[in-house]
C-alpha cells in the first residue's frame, strides 16, 4: 500500500473519520507499516493491531527515551538556539520520555497524589466546579462546549492540585497547542520561540514562588524532593511540572469534547445513558475506546526485534497507533460502532505497561462527572452546527477546535 505519510496520522481529516483511515491502513496485509519519514525524525515502523500495540507498550526492549539513539542528548532550557530549545522540549526527561530506573523514580515522586483514593476525595470539588461552569451558561441556551466547559473543568482541577494560581490557567492551552504544532512541523521552530521561552520562564518563576511559599500541593512536594538532592534534577523538575500541567488537562479536555460529540452523533446511545446513569462508567470506557484523545505514541528498539517476520533493528523507531488498536475487529466486536453497553472494555486509550497514564483515575472521574452533569442539566443537548463544519487541530491528539451546542 502506498500513499500514507506521518501527516495522515495527525491530520484533521483523519480525526474527522478515523475509521475510514484505519480501514485504509489495514489494507496493508503485513502486521507493520513502513513510514519513509516520521516528522523529520527518519524512517519508522507503525504498529496498529491491538495485540502488537499492547505487546510493544509492555515490552522493556522498546524504549520511550529516544535520546539514547539521538545525536542531541545535551540540549537544555538554557540553550540560546531555538532549535536546541525545541530539541530539549521534544526530549524533556519526564515520566513519558524516560525508562527505568529513572521512570520508576519520577513516577514514584508524584504517584501519591494520583491514587484512586486521593482522586475519589476530589469528587465533591470536581462536581462543584462542573456545576459552577454549567450555571454560567444555563440561561444562554447555548455554549461553546470546549472553551466554556471541557477546557476549564480539568484545568481548574489540575491547577488546584499543583498549586497554580487561577489567573495563570488561560495561558496553558495556547502554549500547549503552539508547542504541539512545532513538534510536528520540522522547520517551523522559530514560530514558537516565544511560547517556548514563556513556558520556561513561567515554570522557573513558579518554582521560585513555591520555594518562598511552599504549600501542600504537588509542585511544592516535587520542589522539596529537588532541594533534598539526587531525587530530581533541574531538567526533570521543569519537565515533570510541564507534563503535569499539560497531561493533567489535555486528555480530559478532549475526552469530554470528543465524547460529547460521539454521543450527539449517536442519539440512541445518549438516550440510553440518560435513562440509565448506572451505565456511566462503562460509557466513559467506550468513549475512550471509540474517540480517545491520544492517537499515537512512539518507542525505539533497544535491540533487534522481530514482529510478524519483520526485523525491527536496534535504534529504529516504532510508532504505535493507540486509536488503531482500539478499532481492531479481532479484539472488539463491531469496533466502528459506539456501544456504551460493550463488554470488551480493555482498550488502550490510556496506554499500557509502565507508562499507563498516571492520571487515568482522574480522567475517568472528570469524564463521568462531565457527562452526567451535561445530560442531567441539559437533556435536550444538541449540536449547533453541521457536523461537517466542525474542525480539528493538527495534532497527535484528537482535538476539536470548538464544539458549539444548544440545549
Handedness of CA 203, 349, 57, 181 (dihedral sign): negative
Domains assigned to the chain: 6-406 (1.10.630.10)
Is the Cβ–Cβ distance between 33 and 1 less than 8 Å?
yes
Reported as a single tens digit per residue, the pLDDT across 169-203 is: 777 777 776 776 666 665 555 666 777 788 888 88
Q: Is the pLDDT assigned to residue 1 strictly greater than 50?
A: no
Cell of 134: 454549567
SS3 assignment for 322-341: HHHHCCCCCCCCCCCCCCCC
DSSP 233-277: -HHHHHHHHHHHHHHHHHHHHHHHHHHHHHHHH-HHHHHHHHH-G
Dist CA 354 CA 349 (whole Å) = 14
Q: What is the mean pLDDT of the chain?
A: 88
Q: Is the pTM of this model over 0.85?
A: yes
* pLDDT, position 73: 46
Asked if residue 101 has a cis previous peptide bond (ω within 30° of 0), the answer is yes
| Residue 216, pLDDT above cutoff 50 | yes
CB 145 within 8 A of CB 404: yes
Q: Where are the alpha helices (DSSP H) in 17-70?
A: 18-25, 50-58
Judge whether residue 312 has pLDDT over 50.
yes
Distance, CA of 385 to CA of 387 (rounded, Å)? 6
State the average pLDDT over residues 123-134: 98
Q: How many helices (H) and strands (E) does the chain have?
A: 17, 10
In DSSP notation, 108-142 reads HHHHGGGSHHHHHTTHHHHHHHHHHHHHHHTTTSE
> Which of 75-79, 118-122, 259-263, 304-308 has the highest average model confidence (pLDDT)?
259-263
Amino acid at each position: 500500500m502506498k500513499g500514507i505519510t506521518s501527516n495522515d496520522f495527525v491530520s484533521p481529516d483523519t480525526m474527522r473519520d478515523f475509521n475510514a483511515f484505519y480501514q485504509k491502513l489495514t489494507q496493508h496485509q503485513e502486521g507493520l507499516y513502513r513510514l519513509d519519514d516520521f516528522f523529520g525524525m527518519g524512517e519508522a515502523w507503525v504498529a496498529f493491531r491491538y495485540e502488537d500495540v499492547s505487546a510493544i507498550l509492555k515490552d522493556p526492549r522498546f524504549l520511550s527515551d529516544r535520546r539514547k539513539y539521538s545525536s542531541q542528548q545535551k540540549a537544555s532550557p538554557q540553550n540560546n538556539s531555538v532549535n536546541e530549545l525545541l530539541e530539549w522540549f521534544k526530549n524533556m526527561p519526564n515520566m513519558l520520555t524516560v525508562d527505568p530506573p529513572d521512570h520508576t523514580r519520577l513516577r514514584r515522586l508524584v504517584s501519591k497524589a494520583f491514587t484512586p483514593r486521593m482522586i475519589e476525595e476530589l469528587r465533591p470539588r470536581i462536581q462543584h466546579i462542573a456545576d459552577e461552569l454549567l450555571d454560567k451558561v444555563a440561561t444562554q441556551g447555548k455554549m461553546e462546549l470546549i472553551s466554556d466547559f471541557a477546557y476549564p473543568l480539568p484545568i481548574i482541577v489540575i491547577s488546584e492540585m499543583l498549586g497554580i494560581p487561577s489567573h495563570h490557567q488561560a495561558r496553558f492551552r495556547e502554549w500547549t497547542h503552539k508547542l504541539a504544532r512545532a513538534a510536528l512541523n520540522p522547520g517551523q521552530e522559530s514560530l514558537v520561540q516565544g511560547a517556548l521561552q514563556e513556558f520556561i520562564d513561567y515554570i522557573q518563576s513558579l518554582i521560585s514562588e513555591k520555594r518562598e511559599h511552599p504549600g501542600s500541593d504537588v509542585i511544592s512536594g516535587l520542589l522539596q524532593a529537588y532541594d533534598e538532592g539526587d531525587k530530581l534534577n533541574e531538567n526533570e523538575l521543569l519537565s515533570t511540572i510541564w507534563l503535569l500541567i499539560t497531561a493533567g488537562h489535555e486528555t480530559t479536555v478532549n475526552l469530554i469534547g470528543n465524547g460529547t460529540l460521539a454521543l450527539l452523533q449517536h442519539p440512541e446511545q445518549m438516550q440510553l445513558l440518560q435513562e440509565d446513569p448506572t451505565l456511566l462508567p462503562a460509557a466513559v470506557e467506550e468513549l475512550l475506546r471509540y474517540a480517545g484523545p491520544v492517537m499515537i505514541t512512539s518507542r525505539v528498539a533497544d535491540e533487534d526485534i522481530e514482529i510478524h517476520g519483520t526485523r525491527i533493528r536496534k535504534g529504529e523507531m516504532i510508532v504505535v497507533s493507540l486509536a488503531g488498536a482500539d478499532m481492531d475487529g479481532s479484539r472488539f466486536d463491531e469496533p466502528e460502532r459506539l456501544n456504551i453497553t460493550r463488554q470488551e472494555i480493555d482498550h488502550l486509550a490510556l496506554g499500557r505497561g509502565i507508562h499507563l497514564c498516571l492520571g487515568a483515575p482522574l480522567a475517568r472521574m472528570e469524564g463521568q462527572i462531565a457527562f452526567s452533569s451535561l445530560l442531567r442539566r441539559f437533556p435536550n443537548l444538541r449540536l449547533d452546527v453541521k457536523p461537517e463544519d466542525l474542525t480539528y487541530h493538527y495534532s497527535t491528539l484528537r482535538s476539536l477546535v470548538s464544539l458549539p451546542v444548544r440545549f
